[in-house]
Amino acid sequence: SYTTDTKSREENKKTLENLYSLSVDITKIRRLKEWVLLQDVAYVKEIAGILQEMGADETTVANIIERCPEAILHTPAEINSQRALWQLVCQNEKQLIKLIEQFPESFFTTEYQQNQKANILFFQELGLKNNIITRFLTSAPNIFYNPVEKNKNVIETLQRNYLNLGGSAANMKIWILKLLSQNPFILLNTSTAIQENLQFLQKNDFTDQEVLQLLSKLKGFIFQLNSTTMQKSMLFSKNIFQCSDQELKQLVLKCPALLYYSVPVLEERLEGLLKEGISIAQIRETPMVLELTTQIVQYRIKKLSALGYDIKSGNLESLNGTKKDFEVTYGKIQSKKERPIFNPVAPLHIED
């Protein structure tokens, strides 16, 4: 624990000298985390030495310390342990130093080393590839802070439910690994929350097969929801589209966003579409358009309108999909428009 009482303390002169010698921009540290400069003990030279040993040049070392000043408050022993830990999943030190430069905060969080190690080994046993585990370490580091038993518990709950819903034992491992790769944050949920959300879907007459379908489509995001928000979103959609429970179910299967997004988000997106002159009937026909933000919809409509394509009279399929999908659709409409119409019976005017 470091003191953050900045008024009564002065900056540590030795720390400043050592940082200057490494060409670190101290004004950046003062602006970001001045309290680091006030600590009585700092390991500037030692941490820089470890980073250089791993292959970091002077610019890289300075960059890492500027972005994560508290790195210099860790003991060399702590950093060497962390280095050994990350080497379990990194191909070499060149890759490791690249990761540290990109995600210094993730690397210099050393309080949970035992949990981190146990979780890395558990993920390897589970069959996750090392490149996926390194991605987790950098983009979802807090899943490694959990005790390994908690993560095991969540995985076991998912496996049990997958089989109970009719998933095959042969496909279970692939399903779990895919789900984790798409959304590692499901591990931050409790087993109880997962169970409750699945029960909510079953109570709303989704068959086991449909629940499985939704889990795959939602990439595990369903586990970050709760039954209250899902209920509100479904009720909102039912009122807007004026449909029966059965029709609503089909809409949700077509577009899981109706379950995932909160009422304010759905309201805002609907409003944006209606302002563009799109009807509720069109949205009901292609509900996936609600997965797009209002800004994306406006941009795509503008581009299509420039080609003379009237979205109000057509279907909304042309708006859908990822950026890549839209570019393909746009390209097709564009080439269709540019293609000259050839009339085989029109007389040809040929100059003599």
Q: What is the structure's pLDDT at 33? A: 92
Stretch 3-32: mean pLDDT = 84
Count the neighbouring beta carbons within 10 Å of the beta carbon of residue 309: 18
Q: Which two tokens stand for residue 323?
A: 């950026």
For residue 253, give the DSSP letter.
Answer: H
Residues in the chain: 352
Asked if 240 and 215 touch (Cβ cutoff 8 Å), the reply is no
pLDDT at 315 over 80: no
Q: What is the pLDDT of residues 43-64, one digit of tens each?
A: 999 999 999 999 999 999 999 9
CA distances from 248 to 238, 281, 284 (A): 6, 14, 10
CA distances from 209 to 155, 160, 169, 216, 244 (A): 20, 15, 15, 11, 21
If you write DSSP's letter for every residue of 57-122 in order, what string do you get? -HHHHHHHHHH-GGGGGS-HHHHHHHHHHHTTT-SSHHHHHHHHHH-HHHHT--TTHHHHHHHHHH
Q: What is the pLDDT of residues 218-250, one digit of tens each?
A: 777 777 788 899 999 999 999 999 999 999 999
Count the neighbouring beta carbons within 10 Å of the beta carbon of residue 284: 16
CA distance 143 to 106: 11
Asked if 289 and 316 touch (Cβ cutoff 8 Å), the reply is yes
Stretch 307-332: mean pLDDT = 83
154-163, 225-234, 260-269, 334-343: least confidently modelled range = 334-343
CA distance 224 to 323: 26
CA distance 94 to 53: 11
CA distance 349 to 251: 56
Asked if 307 and 334 touch (Cβ cutoff 8 Å), the reply is yes
* Amino acid letter, 325: D
What percent of the chain is modeled with pLDDT above 90?
60
Q: Is 321 helix (H, G, I), strand (E, B) or coil?
A: coil
Q: What is the pLDDT of residues 262-299, one digit of tens each?
A: 999 999 999 999 998 888 999 999 899 998 899 998 99
Q: Which two tokens stand for residue 282?
A: 């069109």
Band of residue 344 on the pLDDT scale cut at 50, 70, 90: low
Q: What is the pLDDT of residues 173-217, one digit of tens each?
A: 999 999 898 889 989 888 888 888 889 999 998 999 999 888 877
For residue 225, give the DSSP letter.
Answer: S
If you write DSSP's letter for every residue of 322-345 in order, what string do you get? -HHHHHHHHHHHHHHHHSPPP-TT
CA distance 263 to 289: 16
Mean of per-residue pLDDT scores for the chain:
88
CA distance 303 to 306: 5
CA distances from 143 to 44, 134, 188, 238 (A): 29, 12, 6, 36
pLDDT at 306 over 90: no
pLDDT at 317 over 80: yes
Look up the pTM and report it. 0.77
Q: What's the CA angle centered on 137, arms 135 and 26, to 5 degrees?
A: 110
Q: Is 11 helix (H, G, I), strand (E, B) or coil?
A: coil
Select from 230, 234, 235 the least CA-distant residue to 198.
Answer: 230
Q: What is the structure's pLDDT at 221? A: 76
Q: Which two tokens stand for residue 184?
A: 């590692």
Q: Which two tokens stand for residue 54?
A: 């791993």
Q: What is the pLDDT of residues 120-143, one digit of tens each?
A: 999 999 999 999 999 999 999 999
pLDDT at 97 over 50: yes
